Structure 1
Amino acid sequence: MRILQALPALYSGGVERGTVEFASDLVKRGHESFVVSKGGPMAEQLRGQGSKHIFMPIHRKSLASFGQVLPMRKLLLELKPDIVHVRSRMPAWIIYLALRSIPESQRPAAVSTFHGMYSVNPYSAIMTRADHIIAVSQCVREYILKNYPVPEEKLTVIQRGVDVEAFRQRELTPQWLDRWFRNYPQLTNQKIIMMPGRISRWKGQLDFLAMMAELVRTRPDCHGIIVGGAEPGKEHFLEELEKERTRLNLTDKVSFLGQRNDMTNLYLLADVVCHMSTKPEPFGRTVTEALASGTPVAAYNRGGAAETLQACFREGLVTADDTFEFAQTIMRLLDLKTPLIDIPYRFRLEAQTEASLRVYEDVLARRENQR
């Protein structure tokens, strides 16, 4: 099949990483893989793995973006993909309008993925106009069915998959460890409690600080690391976090590491990884990645992150918003000699690819039968 994925950009987020990994797996299976976006650092990785990247500014949530409808129509007619897979709302609008102007016999099939629980409005409803919809978790599926008139048979849950072996087969090199402890000497001989995720209020960094204040009273050998950068416009929240760290007397117990490009190493280095989003998260990719590395995870019992832990590592589930229980759970996880982590097949990259290909094949078969 010729498969075109569409998303706003290719930076470092979970949707972007998942798109690049999925594209790589498609190429390995003999399919032709194309991605259209405004580009970004991951475009080079995408090309290196055998996919073709097409630059198009389809990222802005503004009326100006509708100027890309005609270029998109031209691209679709030239490329002739079998499937167009949209992963975000603005690209979905541009592609929907472009498809409407193409004769039905020449149109590719359209598949959309709800990567989040988008605000309920006509702008978001465009994601339901595809031939088939994929939800990244059960909680996202329920959200779609509750808020949009979508027949259940048009909706499939496909968990985001990770390349488990790629995480598991890694080792920390002496060179990396030496550089790490030279840069962060305060972490020497400490139990490392990691909080990954961009700096954003709903990601739960304030809860993490409150939990660390509780944890170090009993376990002074623990050091928290907050890994993730502040998005433009969110710098003020990072300042708020730094002030809260000082107020809680955690200056020598919590470090802000900013954006990193060595997350696979940090998953191996950490003793426990935390997921503390203050509202249900659609999936929680960091949970699966950490577990694939063999590192225990503690997470609030809600949303997609909880679905992953319920299937892979129930010991890490914590009552939502209870930072005291969270600290107690981390202490218990630190005492585990060999965490019993079991990642079912549906959370693996190969399962995601196979399930997505089945959706593509079913959509194409239905269209063929209707002609």
Structure 2
Amino acid sequence: MPLPPGFTLLQVVPELETGGAELSAIEVARAVVQAGGRALVASRGGRLAARLEADGGRLVALPADSKNPLTIASNGRRLANLIRREKVSLVHARSRAPAFSALWAARATGTPFVATYHGIYKARSRLKRWYNAVMTRGDLVIANSDYTRAHVLAEHGLPPEKVVAIPRGVDLDRFDPAAVAPERIERLRAAWGVADDDRRTKVLLAGRLTRIKGHLTIIEAVSRLKAEGRTDLLVLFAGDDQGRTDYREELFEAISTAGVQDMVKIVGHCDDMPAACLLSDVAILPTTVPESFGRAAVEPQAMGRPVIASAHGGTVETVLDGVTGWLVPPGEASAWAEALKAAADLGPAGRAEMGQLAMGRARQLYRTDAMCAATLAAYERVLEARR
């Protein structure tokens, strides 16, 4: 959609390494540039910064990942100066700590402020609820799923018109099986040590190495399967530990103790998730706490792969149990073992049929261009209200 003449967007996100908030910031920045506007992202930076600038956006280096009150105050002053200097039209925050700086700067300059709720923030105290509520103090709140929107409304008592659900999107040009050359799959196969003639059902768990992603549940589930004599699966943990070396070592120890080194591999960060999906037969998202959306459940479906996911949070919207994948009680290793068996026993033809249904649904409901168009429409709504 067209943007007002001279439109300049400033997004504020802690870093640009990996994750849903970061990818959404990059994708919306590209959409703004394509619509004739300018896109700035204030962030500590990271591996996605090159992609931002290749798409025509601009990184503004800022310690936006800091939770130090003095740094937050300093960031607020720097952002206010940036807003004035660059004639920023709208500020969009994507995380709580930098949202304090961004909201202060927006108010100091009279600039519209929007925030996206990318997660379900827990609040066990009044102080934490106040901290989380910074995301609701602007002109509009964007929730990344209906599940998240319902949570925001219940938690903060906002009027329904102030919270809009815009599901996260998948880049269907990138996540397109036809766009992945066989050489890319072979490079990953070699890097991950997966033999060409390995006929086991390959299971992909893509996500940061953090406890809430459910790796330990899967290690226990695989251990149960091996005890039953099932050795026809290979599980691949693809993700960065992002400094969580203790947890990474805990996973290696759990794999060794369970005796499943031949069935579970930690392969590290992956820059080519479309190829990773095609290398695999099924993807899993065994999160132990609800995902607000769960892009890792949608991207494999767009690539024609069925998904096994924890039956809570946003994934109950994105995975249709028994149709595009399976929904499993979170943290229950026995249930996960049964679901992994079901996926393996379905065979290549059955998984392909389920994968086609998953692909059709993902392409209909979760397109990046639809997410970006809805986000730009939300910006226009805020600007119009201010006018």
TM-score normalized by the length of structure 1: 0.91
Q: Which residue number corresponds to residue 100 of structure 1?
A: 107
Q: Which residue number corresponds to residue 360 of structure 1?
A: 379
Which whole-Å deviations, capped at 9, do the CAs of 1:123-150 have from their partners, x for residues lacking one? 2211111100001112211221222131
Q: Which residue number corresponds to residue 173 of structure 2?
A: 165
Secondary structure (helix, strand or coil) at the match of 2:236 reads strand
Cα distance in 2 for residues equivalent to 1:52 and 1:229: 25
Cα distance in 1 for residues equivalent to 2:199 and 2:158: 54
Which whole-Å deviations, capped at 9, do the CAs of 1:190-209 have from their partners, x for residues lacking one? 32111111111111001111
Q: Which residue number corresponds to residue 24 of structure 1?
A: 30
Superposition deviation, residue 313 in structure 1: 4.8
Superposition deviation, residue 284 in structure 1: 1.0
Cα distance in 1 for residues equivalent to 2:146 and 2:343: 27
Q: Which stretch shows the higher mean deviation, 305-314 or 318-327? A: 305-314
Q: Which stretch shows the higher mean deviation, 256-265 or 179-188? A: 179-188
What is the one-letter code of the residue matched to 1:116?
Answer: G
Q: Which residue number corresponds to residue 113 of structure 1?
A: 116
Superposition deviation, residue 231 in structure 1: 2.8
Secondary structure (helix, strand or coil) at the match of 1:139 reads helix
Cα distance in 1 for residues equivalent to 2:365 and 2:199: 37
Cα distance in 2 for residues equivalent to 1:183 and 1:135: 36
Secondary structure (helix, strand or coil) at the match of 2:293 reads coil
* Contact kept? 1:272, 1:330, Cα under 8 Å: no
Superposition deviation, residue 302 in structure 1: 0.5
Q: Which residue number corresponds to residue 252 of structure 1?
A: 262
How does 1:179-218 map onto structure 2 within 5 Å? 180-181=189-190, 184-185=193-194, 188-216=198-226, 217=228
Cα distance in 1 for residues equivalent to 2:319 and 2:102: 36
Q: Which residue number corresponds to residue 12 of structure 2?
A: 6
Cα distance in 2 for residues equivalent to 1:20 and 1:155: 22
The unaligned stretches of length 5 or more in structure 1 are none
Superposition deviation, residue 215 in structure 1: 3.7
Kindly report structure 1 stretches of 4+ aligned residues shifted beyond 6 Å. none
The unaligned stretches of length 5 or more in structure 2 are 1-6
Q: Which residue number corresponds to residue 338 of structure 2?
A: 328
What is the one-letter code of the residue matched to 1:229?
Answer: D
Superposition deviation, residue 20 in structure 1: 1.0
- The answer to whether 1:46 aligns with 2:48 is no
Q: Which stretch shows the higher mean deviation, 239-248 or 199-208? A: 239-248
Structure-2 change in CA distance of 1:183 and 1:87 (3 Å): closer
Cα distance in 2 for residues equivalent to 1:158 and 1:311: 23
Superposition deviation, residue 72 in structure 1: 1.1
Superposition deviation, residue 218 in structure 1: 5.5
Question: Which of 257, 273, 291 pairs up with 2:283?
Answer: 273
Question: Which of 230, 235, 258 pairs up with 2:241?
Answer: 230
**Equivalent pairs: percent with the same residue?**
29
* Contact kept? 2:76, 2:104, Cα under 8 Å: yes
Superposition deviation, residue 225 in structure 1: 1.0
Question: Which of 78, 85, 91 pairs up with 1:78?
Answer: 85
Cα distance in 1 for residues equivalent to 2:60 and 2:95: 16
Superposition deviation, residue 182 in structure 1: 6.8
Secondary structure (helix, strand or coil) at the match of 1:101 reads helix
Question: Which of 95, 113, 116 pairs up with 1:88?
Answer: 95
Superposition deviation, residue 318 in structure 1: 2.0
Secondary structure (helix, strand or coil) at the match of 1:36 reads strand
What is the one-letter code of the residue matched to 2:329?
Answer: T
Secondary structure (helix, strand or coil) at the match of 2:173 reads helix
Superposition deviation, residue 19 in structure 1: 1.3
Secondary structure (helix, strand or coil) at the match of 2:362 reads coil
Q: Which stretch shows the higher mean deviation, 352-361 or 26-35? A: 26-35
* Contact kept? 1:346, 1:352, Cα under 8 Å: no
* Contact kept? 2:174, 2:274, Cα under 8 Å: no
Cα distance in 1 for residues equivalent to 2:215 and 2:15: 26
Cα distance in 2 for residues equivalent to 1:64 and 1:112: 22
What is the one-letter code of the residue matched to 2:242?
Answer: E
Cα distance in 1 for residues equivalent to 2:106 and 2:185: 49
Q: Which residue number corresponds to residue 177 of structure 1?
A: 186
- The answer to whether 1:137 aligns with 2:152 is no
Cα distance in 2 for residues equivalent to 1:273 and 1:242: 21
Structure-2 change in CA distance of 1:93 and 1:178 (3 Å): closer
Structure-2 change in CA distance of 1:48 and 1:181 (3 Å): closer
Superposition deviation, residue 260 in structure 1: 2.0
Secondary structure (helix, strand or coil) at the match of 2:325 reads helix
- The answer to whether 1:243 aligns with 2:249 is no
What is the one-letter code of the residue matched to 2:374?
Answer: A
Cα distance in 1 for residues equivalent to 2:286 and 2:302: 19
- The answer to whether 1:67 aligns with 2:67 is no
* Contact kept? 2:106, 2:113, Cα under 8 Å: no
